[in-house]
Structure 1
Amino acid sequence: MFGGRTPVLVLSQNTKRESGRKVQLENINAGKQIADVIRTCLGPQAMLKMLMDPMGGIVMTNDGNAILREITVQHPAAKSMIEIARTQDEEVGDGTTSVIVLAGEILTITEQFLQQQMHPTVIIRQYRQALDDIVTLIEGPLSVPVDKNDRNAVAGVVKSCIGTKILSKWDDLAVNIALDAVNTVTIVDNGRTEVDIKRYAKVEKIPGGAIEDSQVLRGVMVNKDVTHPKMKRYIQNPRIVLLDCPLEYKKGESQTNVELSGESDFTRMLEIEEEHVRKICEDIIALKPDVVFTEKGVSDLAQHYLLKAGISAIRRVRKTDNNRIARACGATIVNRTEELQESDVGTGCGLFEIKKIGDEYFCFLTECKNPKACTILLRGASKDILNEVERNLQDALQVTRNIIISPRLVPGGGAIEMAVAQKLQAKATHGPYAAMAQALEIIPRTLAQNCGANTIRTLTALRARHAAHTDANRPCMWGIDGETGEIVDMEKKGIWEPLAVKLQIYKTAVETAILLLRIDDIVSGSKKAGDKDKEPPKPSEIAEGKE
């Protein structure tokens, strides 16, 4: 399946124009095949997939989105299935495998209704009704509130999220990193909570050392060294200036040709350049900074002036890194040196330091007073391990963010799926609505399968536990322990999932199934093999009367 240069999942698709039931059944088949590929990647006993990219590099992961991103498929319905894993990852960052498995199962149960000649519109209507009821149930009595300021409660949820990943061996470390990073970048403004992990919590991977050496810096780290070897590399409580302009003479766009009539003209040209650079440096030196970061270049002459003034300069810093430094030390990025003011200088950083790790130099701005940006420094044995640890950590960060924005939880281990299925079956005993309840059971069933338990016996016992539950205002907490396959109380086990993740899984899976059901025709825009080319007649043919 994954042999060769690129993993290609070939899904048969006729080149002829297809329509009606046949297309719907083909779309269902494509969805099922995608779900089957990553079904073994669900739960703590998940297997890994090894993927080879076209360049010969390898990826080892059990992250649904990462696997599907590398697979090449030809069937349009399969492409839309892959798209939902990406959507899930972007929206809530977790549940990418669950959403594909659930969508595949909803499509599978739809097949029987199509074969009974039931119209897709009737099926879709009942699916929509089931989705509305699911959302009402889990937003209401089947979810429980959590105090987002209680670090232990949030840590428990994050731990259960990464329990299915490679990072689970270092779960305490990962949980602390995720909580510290998210708390650092969280900004509450007029009751509105903003948590921008992508821009302000940067993950830096440095091969070497042990995973236990990973940490969240109270500040920012960039892969840069000072421009001149004599500049200071260790400054306490530095004054920092951030620039978005070059510290060098920029020749005009149209000044490609310069006509010099005498020797003095050339000297004058050099003087103009020197005066310009000196003026820029004087503007900077006037504020008495200790460190200058610029996104552009720094000329040799500017380095000379800054070195004389005892200022360390770092050039060609990325725009994203500059924004993080601004948030960490309280500086403002300035576009022109003439506009520099005292208020633009950042004084919130406690330590500027250049360190050599391995073969490369890194600039650390740490011990910041109130940083609103941070760098997560990951250490590990190899690049492959670091890449997988980063993927796992991103999930942990997203889950923490989801709890801070929407502090409600549902029990994990398939417990919430069984509870919802029980409620749906109580409302309808047959038809697509009842079949949706059956589809939800795929999550606990897959968990049991992946850890080698007896699936039928386990699910029957689990159904009985949920049927015996009578408290309408509280979800039944019995689910499957993904490690052993036994039925356990999720509340005692401490396995919880954020409501936002589950809501997104159900909405995305059902909407995708509905979308694929509504397709009754696939029309190819490319020329069909064997067709005669419909080219306009040539002028000579018209003249001969061949048209």
Structure 2
Amino acid sequence: MSQVIVMNTNMERETGRKAQVSNITAAKTVADIIRTCLGPRSMLKMLLDPMGGVVLTNDGNAILREVEVAHPAAKSMIELARTQDEEVGDGTTSVIILAGEVLAQALPYLERNIHPIVIIAAFKLALEDAIEIVDKISIPVNVNDPKEMLDLVKTSIGTKFVSRWSDMMCKLALDAVRCVAVEVDGRREVDIKRYARVEKIPGGEIEDSRVLDGVMVNKDVTHPKMRRRIENPRVILLDCPLEYKKGESQTNIEVTKESDWSRILQIEEEQIKGMCDKIIELKPDLVFTEKGVSDLAQHYFVKAGITAIRRVRKTDNNRIARAVGATIVNRVDDLKESDVGTDCGLFSVEKIGDEYFTFLTGCKNPKACTIVLRGPSKDILNEIERNLMDAMSVARNVYFNPRLSPGGGATEMAISVGLMEKSKTLEGSIQWPYKAAAEAMEVIPRTLIQNCGGNAIKILTSLRAKHATGHHSWGVDGHAGKIVDMHEYGIWEPNAVKVQTIKTAIESSCMLLRVDDIVSGLSGGRPQQGGPSPEQQEMGEGDMQPEQ
């Protein structure tokens, strides 16, 4: 169940050491919530939302979104997971665990009266050296080699619920990313949020999931006599209603005789006919509009053999435009031949379960796609979608920065050993917090070992020994809890995710260490001006504490 970390609203001001210790404790508590969610042997969390719904997941970001916290430091930790998710889409659990550990390692030095600014300077220096080490042990990857890319995406899915279907899910993720990748001004652009939509349809087998070479929308045709299957259709996309435009509130119509009524209705019909004629001139087979289509317009379309689909979402319309090569038009009068999309191979309407779905498939060069996910229940489909988004983010990151770092805690261990060596060359009080940053890096391999029930001290010692002799690709096998060479084991992570994780964790730790005063701006517990109210006097002084 969602844990609640509460900060007393009417607390005295927390200053100096007390504020720093309070922040570090809150950060460690948040890290402990999701510590068991790291690695292939990770546990699931069952979250209850305020509406009574249940979420089952081991995705760090999804868990922290649901957790309700009141402590400001805990809130900023949760913000880290969101930043990480938006930036690189993976490593949300790692970044929280790492940030919590870096702060925990700083605590003994605060207690020894080393100034926070000295600790921050040491952490900043450690961050620069850590990024150098990551770049040194990274290897380049060939983006066009499907096997290399599949192995990489498998790493992000290997720790998740869908790992049983990892080959199929990785292929879905790769196909989707390849589909939406476009070259803009000589650089690659991969917008998976806007152009790769996931449609979840309960029922069927998980193996039935697929990436369409086109788009699917949850809509049916507006009129029963319209065609439900068209090969190589000409498609028009509109952002305007095909209905009679009623006057605004200041429009007055005076009706003096009965014939005026029929004239008013006639004007309506003429206006709709004019709109439909403009569309029919371009000889389309399909018309999609984001607004409504009146009965009369449907009648004209059926006569002309045109299929119309109304009230399509704006986002779906954008995807259809990319897939079929059409342009969305705001006014019927502006329609021209170049706005018609002709890249679609087949339009069809199918009934899946109780609902009708419109498919636009066989597109020549679709720059947008729909991923159809099938599965036994809504909960499972939601978790598959979360895992698939992680996999697509990993594939996207590698397209932008085609370098890989060894996974399984190998990169963190290499950083830890490298920083330990460097700390021996530093002088003055800065070397102790620098060493603390090196020790904090070990938390990732240690957590991986603990989560699969291994002996943390024994395995970490042998892993440290491997890295000390220069074997930087050795890490932890998260299934068996023993050390393996990641080159042979084949667990790799994108360089961008690793660098972002370390940067976010250390920089946020520095920010929290800078805080030396927590002042509550809430007015709980203070009597209002003019003295307490009669109700408060009845309650007595002791009852005026705010709810915690």
Tell me whether the two structures share a fold, i.e. TM-score over 0.5.
yes
Q: In the alignment, which residue of structure 2 is the partner of 1:543? A: none
Letter in 1 for 2:80: I
State the alpha-carbon separation in 1 of the partners of residues 17 and 209 from structure 2: 54
In the alignment, structure 1 residue 50 sits paired with structure 2 residue 51: no
Give matches, 1:161-240, under 5 Å.
Answer: 161-240=156-235
Q: In the alignment, which residue of structure 2 is the partner of 1:541? A: none
Identity %: 64
User: What secondary structure, in the 3-state scheme, does the structure 1 residue paired with 2:81 have?
Assistant: helix
Unaligned runs of 5+ in 1: 470-474, 538-547
Q: 1:268 aligns with which of 253, 260, 263?
A: 263
State the alpha-carbon separation in 1 of the partners of residues 477 and 454 from structure 2: 10
User: What secondary structure, in the 3-state scheme, does the structure 1 residue paired with 2:79 have?
Assistant: helix
User: What secondary structure, in the 3-state scheme, does the structure 1 residue paired with 2:137 have?
Assistant: coil
Q: In the alignment, which residue of structure 1 is the partner of 2:467? A: 466
Q: 1:12 offset after TM fit, Å?
A: 6.2
Whether the 8 Å contact between 1:51 and 1:59 is mirrored in structure 2 is: yes
Q: In the alignment, which residue of structure 2 is the partner of 1:472? A: none
Q: 2:419 aligns with which of 415, 424, 431?
A: 424
In the alignment, structure 1 residue 319 sits paired with structure 2 residue 314: yes
User: What secondary structure, in the 3-state scheme, does the structure 2 residue paired with 1:147 have?
Assistant: coil
Q: 1:268 offset after TM fit, Å?
A: 1.2
Whether the 8 Å contact between 2:475 and 2:485 is mirrored in structure 1 is: yes
State the alpha-carbon separation in 2 of the partners of residues 516 and 534 from structure 1: 35
Q: In the alignment, which residue of structure 2 is the partner of 1:307? A: 302
State the alpha-carbon separation in 2 of the partners of residues 257 and 16 from structure 1: 66
Give matches, 1:38-437, under 5 Å.
Answer: 38-139=34-135, 141-255=136-250, 257-429=252-424, 430-437=431-438
1:45-94, Cα deviation, whole Å (9 max, x unpaired): 00000000111110000000000110101111000000100111111110
State the alpha-carbon separation in 2 of the partners of residues 319 and 536 from structure 1: 55
Q: 1:238 offset after TM fit, Å?
A: 0.5
Letter in 2 for 1:405: F
Whether the 8 Å contact between 1:137 and 1:420 is mirrored in structure 2 is: yes
1:119-158, Cα deviation, whole Å (9 max, x unpaired): 000100111111111122223x121111111111111110
Q: 1:532 offset after TM fit, Å?
A: 3.5
In the alignment, structure 1 residue 492 sits paired with structure 2 residue 493: no
State the alpha-carbon separation in 1 of the partners of residues 524 and 51 from structure 2: 32
Whether the 8 Å contact between 2:405 and 2:411 is mirrored in structure 1 is: yes
Q: 1:9 offset after TM fit, Å?
A: 3.6
Letter in 1 for 2:437: M
State the alpha-carbon separation in 1 of the partners of residues 513 and 203 from structure 2: 50
State the alpha-carbon separation in 2 of the partners of residues 526 and 535 from structure 1: 19
Over 3 Å counting, the alpha-carbon distance change for 1:489 and 1:12 in structure 2 is farther
Q: 1:534 offset after TM fit, Å?
A: 3.9
Q: 1:189 offset after TM fit, Å?
A: 2.6
Letter in 1 for 2:464: R
Letter in 2 for 1:265: D
State the alpha-carbon separation in 2 of the partners of residues 323 and 535 from structure 1: 59
User: What secondary structure, in the 3-state scheme, does the structure 2 residue paired with 1:202 have?
Assistant: strand
Whether the 8 Å contact between 1:7 and 1:51 is mirrored in structure 2 is: no
Letter in 2 for 1:520: D
Q: 1:338 offset after TM fit, Å?
A: 1.1
Letter in 2 for 1:464: A
State the alpha-carbon separation in 2 of the partners of residues 93 and 58 from structure 1: 23
Normalising by structure 1, report the TM-score.
Answer: 0.94
State the alpha-carbon separation in 1 of the partners of residues 45 and 7 from structure 2: 19
State the alpha-carbon separation in 2 of the partners of residues 467 and 135 from structure 1: 18
State the alpha-carbon separation in 2 of the partners of residues 152 and 255 from structure 1: 67
* Cα-Cα RMSD: 1.4
State the alpha-carbon separation in 2 of the partners of residues 145 and 55 from structure 1: 47
Q: In the alignment, which residue of structure 1 is the partner of 2:543? A: none
Whether the 8 Å contact between 1:13 and 1:75 is mirrored in structure 2 is: no
Over 3 Å counting, the alpha-carbon distance change for 1:105 and 1:7 in structure 2 is closer
State the alpha-carbon separation in 2 of the partners of residues 122 and 110 from structure 1: 11
State the alpha-carbon separation in 2 of the partners of residues 459 and 105 from structure 1: 16
Letter in 2 for 1:465: K
Q: 1:7 offset after TM fit, Å?
A: 4.6
In the alignment, structure 1 residue 449 sits paired with structure 2 residue 450: yes
1:340-373, Cα deviation, whole Å (9 max, x unpaired): 1111110000000000000000000001010000
Whether the 8 Å contact between 1:69 and 1:82 is mirrored in structure 2 is: yes
Letter in 1 for 2:270: E
Q: 1:256 offset after TM fit, Å?
A: 5.4
Letter in 1 for 2:96: I
Paired residues, number? 526
Q: 1:528 offset after TM fit, Å?
A: 4.3
Normalising by structure 2, report the TM-score.
Answer: 0.94
